[in-house]
Amino acid sequence: MKFHDLTIQEMRQKLRAGDLTSVDLTKACLERIKATDGELNAFITLCEDEALAAAAEADQQIKAGNTGMLTGIPIAVKDIFNTLDVRTTCGSKILDNYISPYDATAVIKLREQGAVIVGKLNMDEFAMGSSNENSAAGAVHNPWDTERVPGGSSGGSAAAVAAGQVVATLGTDTGGSVRQPASHCGVVGLKPTYGRVSRYGVVAFASSLDQVGPLAGNVEDCALMLGVVAGYDPADSTSVDCPVPDYLENLNGGVAGKKIGLPQEYFIDGLDPEIKQAVDAAIETYRQLGAEIVEVSLPHTDYSVACYYLIAMAEASSNLARYDGVRFGLRRDSGEGLTGMYQQTRSAGFGDEVKRRIMLGTYALSSGYYDAYYLKAQKVRTLIRKDFLKAFEQVDLLLTPVAPTPAFKIGEMVDDPLQMYLSDIFTIPTNLAGTCAMSFPCGFSTDGLPIGLQLIGKPFAENEMLQAAYAFEQATDWNKRVPEL
């Protein structure tokens, strides 16, 4: 069996039994990346020397019997996580040579559990995009069809797992940026409840929406990754001091007797027929597993995309003001004064999509427009959250599609940003509501492209959501398929 066919649990067993060393595993991982990344472009930075040194240390720890949940296992993280002494670019020219002086809390937790971090993954610039085409490092290609997008903004994170470059990754999800790529690449991706995982050290896009989430090849590995990074962090003022369950121990809970709601607003006319067919088949599978299927309503769903883009762009405008050429990152200065230096630096450093969002966000926050746009969007956000909480009084979980279509071709929507924004129509509401959600494979299109199913859980009910996803995965074989590279 090749290393990239193994799960995290299988790697752990082989490492502990002495059938495999972390150095051998890491070398095989690096070779796989070098052999396939010319097609995929999933990595921005490869940390070869650092990874092999960490693997050698992991082998010593294993021999000494000091093992964590991920000791010796190669992992990669989205290039939005600060990593000590390794550059963090966020897919942007403005941070091309920025070397972080510290680790993000999620990265610290990976290292504490023994993970070997092999590199930083490609992404839409500052996580702004749904296709991973908005990257200064170039577009990421979908392993199932390299002419298609992998989804975004965590496209590199999903593509790397799907291609067997690494067994699991970390991404971030601001409006669907873990779940949509997971769906398009046929892997499992989870957005935890806002506050469940620390955002400290994650470069901010929209601070009230951003959330760290794991991607993996199956539900069990995703649950393990979530357990590693979840938990209270006093360094993050939005982190919630809430007990973290043992997600692995509770995976076998099943769905018998559970009520699963179908929000009528998510089953729209524009939904691709093959997506609808796969989701309908998944609903029937849940019925056979003993779940009760109930129709529910989330009446303010139609406002979610407009609401999201006002809030996200306004927060992006504020967060990205720090990239001014003074403190860190790119600096362009032709001697035309401070304002000239700002203009030259930001014009050269930011891509078109980031500039678009900064300008729209600045406009929404400007004097005379704040109440009409940003404040009103926050009020609508409250209504959207209330919709979810009301629905969860009737049901345990919600079931929806992840994306309205399978992965589209690279360049297909690049000149139509509004159409691109609509590709997140089913994932955005949960970010506004702050609740948890995940994507996992439920079928394939006639073109051989993966289709994901979304489960949405109550706030801090990741445990219940993972149980339901695991029950579906055990009853089907969609996650067993892998792309040929």
**Amino acid found at 399:** L
For residue 443, what is the DSSP state?
A: E
Extract the runs of DSSP E, i.e. beta strands, from 396-435. 397-401
In angstroms, the CA 349 to CA 128 distance is 15
Count of alpha carbons within 13 angstroms of residue 151, beta-carbon side: 39
The β-bridge partners of 171 are: 213
Q: Catalytic: 78?
A: yes
For residue 302, what is the DSSP state?
A: G
Q: Are the CB atoms for 439 and 456 separated by under 8 Å?
A: no
In angstroms, the CA 220 to CA 190 distance is 12
Q: Are the CB atoms for 252 and 470 separated by under 8 Å?
A: yes
For residue 459, what is the DSSP state?
A: T
3-class state of residue 265 by DSSP: helix
Catalytic residue among 78, 120, 258, 458: 78
The β-bridge partners of 215 are: 169, 189
The β-bridge partners of 74 are: 116
Full 3-state SS string of 333-371: CCCCHHHHHHHHHHHHHCCHHHHHHHHHHHHHHCCCCCH
In angstroms, the CA 105 to CA 1 distance is 34
Q: Are the CB atoms for 84 and 146 separated by under 8 Å?
A: no
Catalytic residue among 135, 154, 157, 177: 177
DSSP strand pairing (188-191 vs 436-444): antiparallel
Q: Are the CB atoms for 252 and 467 separated by under 8 Å?
A: yes
What are the tokens at 47?
């940390």
**Amino acid found at 429:** P
Separation of first and last alpha carbons in the chain: 17
In angstroms, the CA 149 to CA 139 distance is 8
DSSP strand pairing (259-263 vs 292-296): parallel
In angstroms, the CA 378 to CA 328 distance is 32
Q: Catalytic: 153?
A: yes
In angstroms, the CA 29 to CA 396 distance is 39
Dihedral of the alpha carbons of 123, 452, 141, 428, in degrees to the nearest 10: -30
Catalytic residue among 92, 100, 131, 153: 153
Q: How far is CA 480 from CA 7, 12, 418, 430, 440, in A?
A: 11, 20, 35, 28, 12
| 108 Cβ contact partners less than 8 Å away, ≥ 6 residues apart | none
User: Which sequence positions are flagged as catalytic?
Assistant: 78, 153, 177
